[in-house]
Structure 1
């Protein structure tokens, strides 16, 4: 007999926790509330403030109250001290699945995760031209987009979501100063979402951005940065999103190569 599946799966999504050593004892209530509100917890990067093992250990302890599956990606702050693998190891130790170009299945829903990177949107995207430093910067954005595409391509579940730190579209960073738009995300992250459709995308990073937008293909994108949700949401600081079950998966979209 096939395993029974719920009609909907609820995900509590939040990014930009920015846990510090002084956060001990301050986040358990928040995580407990998120755990009670959903069937799984999605963490969209900047989980620590400086990416230290001490901060990661505090966060791991605060997450001990969560009783549902946890899936995360790291953010730029989690790389600040140069030890993202240690942050990942500590969080793995308390049951957090930290994705970096991988895919997992949670309660019948496929999740593709990558940190992403910056570089700008649309015509404002930085191109790989000129100095070697510029080319390396752009290559990092391309590499992160390829990680996302690889993860999406692995999913075979009928329902799928994408988990990022940086935004794939400009709409959800609107509200931030225009001068920093290029550092908040990259349109290169949107391309895999056109080829491999998902139900929705969540990201963080843009604390003063906009809660919702859509890709060029109409896929909903949600900015779940905790500072934004605390200011504009219902005060909980996380967002609950649902995936309704269906038997047929959306088909990958054929995209003509640019000439």
Structure 2
């Protein structure tokens, strides 16, 4: 099957007009009411929100997306679509019609091509490479007899060829992606953990601090628990925003476009 052409804006990625958009807060809460309360509490400290599977299983999911967009927020629909290509394409088209900003899909070639071909607006399609909750042992259990970095790079290259815009990748693979993948690649990095020696362990295994991830070339950082479980979520978000701003300035790029922000 021939590769679909890239998204019309892929060669010149949309510029980040506000470095605050680099922080994506994970609204991993059980219902839309809890999500709205958190958004209100975080106010202007967060401009970009991830709405994932937990909320997708709750009433009011699409109304929440519309509410966020009406408030001028960016929306990352992280549902990791994985189904027959026609079904994935139909789902992408429905979300694209709601003007969401990012959608995640699994990195199967036919799925990536179908998803990229289905969108008509400015929605960005991101391929999942290797979940940050997986380590080398987990990958072996899943039947991947290869280096995680090799797998991530291969999927990133194939995603762009398929017409997708970028990938979700651990910070541990970022430097290699930035060194070897095309400059147009948008990188979204979960598993971000500010330095906190007292933080309890969680299910993320391949993690990185905001400063380290920005230095390695991340465009966007997904942060959940360190903000959501803080005594003062707004203050925690503000602190991470400041860390990101400092890291970007130190990297010497200022406000830059995705994929060109090294």
Structure with greater helix percent:
2
TM-score w.r.t. length of structure 2: 0.48
Structure with greater strand percent:
1
TM-score w.r.t. length of structure 1: 0.48
